[in-house]
Structure 1
Amino acid sequence: MDTLSALISHAEPKANLFFSGNLCGSSSSTDHPAGGILHLVRTGEMLLFEEYGLTHRITEPTLIIYPKGKAHRLQPQTLDGCDVVCANLTFKDSPLYRALPDAIVLPLNELDNLSDTINMLFIEAFTSRFAQVAIISTLLDLLLLLVLRHLVENRICQEGVLSALSDHKLSKAIEIIHKQIDYPWSIDELANKVGMSRARFAALFNQTIGQPPLSYVTEARLLLAKKLLLKGEPIKSVSLEVGYSGSVAFSRAFQRQFGITPRAWYLKQH
């Protein structure tokens, strides 16, 4: 499994359609499902407002994504309105999710490699055919994955773990960590695995990702633990699966990281 695939498997990104059609009036994020939001503008012109006012004038087909649900408003500028496809997005809390920018606005002419998927999505969204809902759902999920790959390949994310994937050695280190998340990694071992000195590796990792290597390992383990707990796995099993000697050591690390015990956190989610 490549590095981005490993990160995606932890984040479990999912897109669910909540509107497709002609938008003729103002639309606010507060009117839609909570969480991340994706807008795919097919035709028309609109203004995009965020908390402090106008941020973009949309004059061509455009992809707009707020991975973490930033407040915003769409305002069509013509009587004909705008044809749009809108979906809510969900991610598991994970290194990938935390590395995503607050907003992504990309004209579709910059997404040539995604054009087949986008065109098929538009065809399905603006016609009435058998299995339409299931096909749109699948295409939205595929589009989201392709966008994540686009962000990495074009170095759009300038900080966090996604920015590190363009560096071969850091990418390899992240891949190693996620492949063996339960292993008691040391900085020396990771540096040796990628052919770097300890000092150079630690400095580059911290500078690029924004946290020391072992801090990243701990965070990745405990974010994965949250995901496993939500699936109903017992605390003892989760603790071993993410690299702790037992539930006591795991609970202490979890509380240091999140300020709450695993059991109390789990109960708050239900």
Structure 2
Amino acid sequence: MSPHAETIADWLLAGLELKSTIFHVGQYCGAWQASTAGRHRASFHLALHGECWLHLPANAERAAQSVRLAAGDAVFLLHDMPHCLSPDPRPPARGQESGRLGSMSPLSSPDDPRQPADGSVGIACGFFEFNSGLDDMLLSLLPDYIVARRDNPSLDGARAIFDLIRAEALRDVQTPSPLIARLTDLLFVYVLRAAAGRDEIAPCFWSLMRRAQFAPLVAAIIEAPAERWTTDTMANFVHMSRARFCKQFVEISGQPPAHFVTLVRMKMAAAMLRGGSSLPDAAERVGYQSESAFAQAFKRVTGVQPGAYRRRAVQPAAQSATLQNTASVSPPSFTALH
């Protein structure tokens, strides 16, 4: 990963509050089709053993796709979107992309000599969500799905995490371990860091990092959000005309440059408010001289006023500190009676 991409990935991951939940862990044999679509949540699938295919129907931004998943591969679907997994490389009939067929059985025990069953596919599926209160903003910066390959050199560390996930899944094949969800959180962090290297991702924030002329600009905006980042300033930074800059920026990232700058600023402002910064201080540090203009921009992006966001974020921290202080008080001593 380039130094600029590293800066950008670390910035996005900072303050990312991800929570995964396991839906089911098991294996399929024969003809089957599985999907987590239709539950209005982002989801993931981990191939524990065997191989299968991820089928994604066409939408306005991409053609229909069928992606092979082998043991150790993972897919993160960052939106609730039509899809399915199946053992067939051919996609299902139109309108059946999110259908379900067959039943999942428990994973074969590691002590079972038949393990894994011939032709079986072991899968761990679940859901995840961002808890930072900036879900829509964060998701707008990411591709709609990410496939992580076990043999990707950028995911060396992730392979150890996957091995731990599989070990946890096999510890008790009847009851999924709660540690699988926590390990999946960590796996997603590794996957997100490697997403910048994907060639096939649709236009999004990460696409900018693959362009030599845009990655330094994005890093500069993140490092100095209070600067006056007008369209002309950004075009001059990358040595382009205003028209060419705007056209290429939208084609690559899927959003206009001014909107991107606002997203960067509001993410940073949210982090400062969670840390207890005052509204005027947060506004000034992300480039707003007017507190009212800052409040309008913050609500437009997050859906809540900055004051309400700060109170909601600071109160739990204050309550936690109070509990810790209470716990640290020494209990009263008593004189032993003889």
**In structure 2, which of residues 74, 80, 86 is the aligned counterpart of residue 63 of structure 1?**
74
Check 1:233–1:76 CA distance in 2 against 1; reply closer, same or farther (3 A cut).
farther
Q: Which whole-Å CA distance do the structure 1 matches of 2:245 and 2:67 have between them? A: 42
Check 1:166–1:57 CA distance in 2 against 1; reply closer, same or farther (3 A cut).
closer
Length-normalised TM-score, structure 2: 0.59
- The answer on 1:22 being equivalent to 2:26 is yes
Q: Which moved more, 1:165-174 or 1:94-103?
A: 94-103
Give the match's secondary structure for 2:171.
Answer: coil
Structure 2's unaligned 5+ residue stretches are 1-5, 59-63, 86-100, 106-116, 314-338
Give the match's secondary structure for 1:29.
Answer: coil
Greater helix fraction, Structure 1 or Structure 2: 1
Q: Which whole-Å CA distance do the structure 2 matches of 1:22 and 1:210 have between them? A: 38
- The answer on 1:39 being equivalent to 2:83 is no
Give the match's secondary structure for 2:162.
Answer: helix
Q: Which whole-Å CA distance do the structure 1 matches of 2:240 and 2:256 have between them? A: 15
Q: Which whole-Å CA distance do the structure 2 matches of 1:2 and 1:85 have between them? A: 32
Q: CA deviation at 1:186?
A: 2.9
Partner of 1:86: 125
Spell out, residue by residue over 1:205-238, the C-alpha distance to the aligned partner (whole angstroms, 9 max, x if none): 2332233323321233235445655777654444
Q: Which whole-Å CA distance do the structure 2 matches of 1:202 and 1:50 have between them? A: 30
Partner of 2:10: 5
Decide whether the 8 Å contact of 1:15 with 1:144 is kept in 2.
Answer: no
Decide whether the 8 Å contact of 2:76 with 2:147 is kept in 1.
Answer: yes
Give the match's secondary structure for 1:86.
Answer: strand
Decide whether the 8 Å contact of 1:15 with 1:87 is kept in 2.
Answer: no
Matched letter for residue 14 of structure 2:
S
Matched letter for residue 89 of structure 1:
F
Give the match's secondary structure for 1:168.
Answer: coil
Partner of 1:242: 286
Matched letter for residue 22 of structure 1:
G
Structure 1 or 2, whichever has the larger Rg, is: 2
Spell out, residue by residue over 1:151-198, the C-alpha distance to the aligned partner (whole angstroms, 9 max, x if none): 21122323121111011221111111111223222344434545x144
Decide whether the 8 Å contact of 2:38 with 2:82 is kept in 1.
Answer: no
Partner of 2:259: 215
Decide whether the 8 Å contact of 2:25 with 2:125 is kept in 1.
Answer: no
Decide whether the 8 Å contact of 2:49 with 2:123 is kept in 1.
Answer: yes
Partner of 2:145: 103
- The percentage of counterpart residues that share the same residue type is 22
Q: Which moved more, 1:85-94 or 1:152-161?
A: 85-94
CA RMSD across the alignment:
4.2
Q: CA deviation at 1:261?
A: 6.2
Structure 1's unaligned 5+ residue stretches are none
Decide whether the 8 Å contact of 2:288 with 2:294 is kept in 1.
Answer: yes
Matched letter for residue 64 of structure 1:
V
**In structure 2, which of residues 226, 233, 240 is the aligned counterpart of residue 182 of structure 1?**
226
Partner of 1:156: 200
Q: Which whole-Å CA distance do the structure 2 matches of 1:207 and 1:252 have between them? A: 27
Length-normalised TM-score, structure 1: 0.71
- Number of equivalences: 259
Q: Which whole-Å CA distance do the structure 1 matches of 2:306 and 2:9 have between them? A: 31
Decide whether the 8 Å contact of 2:263 with 2:301 is kept in 1.
Answer: no
Give the match's secondary structure for 1:248.
Answer: helix
Q: Which whole-Å CA distance do the structure 2 matches of 1:76 and 1:228 have between them? A: 49
Q: Which moved more, 1:109-118 or 1:168-177?
A: 109-118
